[in-house]
């Protein structure tokens, strides 16, 4: 494979169009001083031979920067951006940016090969995001930022987190649950706060305000879900349902149940958040609030404004609706206390 090789030289194209090389070059570079008719004729010819106007002549590559790739959550974002970019013939370079060394490697690589746009996944540290933004004037969009996004400063894609939390709460209320626990994520993650707020508001509005003892926090992984669920299940009157901050936590809650010989939804209803593909793998399959992660990545790509149609180049912030996916980990509460 060789560097993008054009089938013909500009000189040959000039001959074909029966026009001077100079004019062909001017058309290619979008200069103004060319007759409209000439421009049209020549630019068609150019395109046919694989040349594109200088303004549109990109690298054909965007970068997706992500903290780590091991979570199913991350994989969905990769998948969504690859699909969206592929439709425009753009390639997606995936880089992990967990350490300072990786940031330096990425800098070096993009200096060599160039990039037409950068998608930053919000689970990267604020510091890393600032570093990336500072060093480039390439269009950049943050996916699911950890902090409340300041649209004057950075462009971002999110989901309706507050509504997502409300959706989960309403689902449990409809089943008749009254003793509902919230396992919120880390309190410094903005999206997690918004989700928990959605739950709290919905419960209060329904007339069953959240019991303070049932408002917990934990990291976004199974270990935290398992630990907090174990604590809650040891309470004198445990909750009948738990709303977790992501699917990983919800899997941990199911582990805690299994360890005690209990199961969902008989002894405890469990709701996750994200709807990663493995949410269907749990026993029982997980009821969860769906964040359309692939669609979010696709929207972020379009906000780069690289497609032929310009995409959503003007949009500063965009929010996609969350929705409830009901599977088998939720059901009506048992009356009274369950026999162990």
Partner DNA sequence: CTGAAAGCGCTTACAG
Which of 24, 224 has the CB closer to DNA? 24
The partner in contact with residue 278, picked from a copy of itself, DNA, none with C-beta cut-offs of 5 to 8 angstroms by kind, is a copy of itself
- Whether the CA torsion 150, 156, 159, 160 is positive or negative: it is positive
Region 55-84 residues binding a copy of itself, contact defined as CB under 8 A: 59-61, 63, 68-72, 74-76, 78-79, 82-83
Q: Answer for the pair 112, 80: CB distance below 8 angstroms, yes or no.
A: no
Which stretch in 18-26, 62-70, 150-158, 301-309 sits in contact with DNA by CB under 7 A?
18-26
The whole-angstrom separation of Cα 221 and Cα 20 is: 66
Residue 304 interacts with a copy of itself (CB under 8 A): yes or no: no
User: Which residue in 15, 16, 26, 107 binds DNA (CB under 7 A)?
Assistant: 26
Which of 20, 258 has the CB closer to DNA? 20
The whole-angstrom separation of Cα 181 and Cα 203 is: 11
- Taking the complex as a whole, how short is the minimal distance between the CB of residue 3 and DNA, in angstroms? 11
Q: How many positions of this chain bind a copy of itself (CB under 8 A)?
A: 63
Region 146-175 residues binding a copy of itself, contact defined as CB under 8 A: none
The partner in contact with residue 22, picked from a copy of itself, DNA, none with C-beta cut-offs of 5 to 8 angstroms by kind, is DNA
Which stretch in 130-138, 169-177, 237-245, 317-325 sits in contact with a copy of itself by CB under 8 A?
130-138
């Amino acid at each position: 494979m060789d560097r993008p090789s054009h089938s013909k030289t500009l000189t040959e194209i000039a001959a074909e169009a029966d026009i001077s090389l100079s004019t062909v070059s001017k058309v290619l570079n979008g200069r103004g001083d060319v007759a409209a008719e000439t421009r049209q004729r020549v630019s068609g010819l150019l395109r046919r031979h694989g040349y594109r106007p200088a303004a549109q002549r990109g690298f054909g590559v965007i970068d997706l920067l992500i903290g780590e790739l091991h979570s199913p959550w991350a994989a969905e974002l990769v998948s969504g951006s690859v699909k969206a970019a592929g439709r425009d013939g753009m390639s997606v370079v995936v880089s992990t940016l967990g350490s300072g060394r990786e940031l330096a490697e990425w800098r070096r690589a993009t200096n060599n090969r160039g990039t037409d746009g950068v998608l930053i996944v919000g689970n990267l540290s604020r510091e890393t995001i600032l570093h990336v933004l500072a060093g480039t004037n390439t269009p950049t969009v943050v996916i699911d930022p950890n902090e409340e996004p300041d649209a004057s400063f950075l462009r971002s894609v999110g989901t309706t987190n507050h509504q997502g939390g409300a959706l989960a709460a309403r689902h449990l209320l409809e089943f008749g649950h009254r003793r509902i626990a919230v396992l919120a994520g880390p309190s410094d993650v903005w999206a997690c706060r918004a989700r928990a707020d959605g739950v709290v508001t919905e419960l209060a509005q329904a007339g069953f305000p959240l019991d303070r003892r049932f408002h917990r926090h934990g990291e976004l992984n199974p270990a935290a879900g398992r630990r907090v669920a174990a604590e809650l299940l040891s309470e004198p009157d445990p909750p009948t349902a738990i709303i977790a901050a992501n699917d990983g936590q919800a899997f941990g809650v199911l582990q805690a149940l299994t360890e005690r010989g209990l199961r969902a939804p008989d002894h405890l209803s469990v709701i996750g958040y994200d709807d990663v593909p493995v949410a269907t793998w749990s026993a029982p399959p997980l009821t969860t609030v769906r964040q359309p992660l692939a669609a979010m990545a696709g929207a972020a790509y379009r906000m780069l404004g690289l497609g032929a149609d310009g995409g959503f180049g003007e949009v500063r912030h965009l929010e996609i609706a969350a929705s409830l996916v009901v599977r088998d980990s939720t059901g009506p509460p048992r009356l009274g206390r369950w026999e162990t």
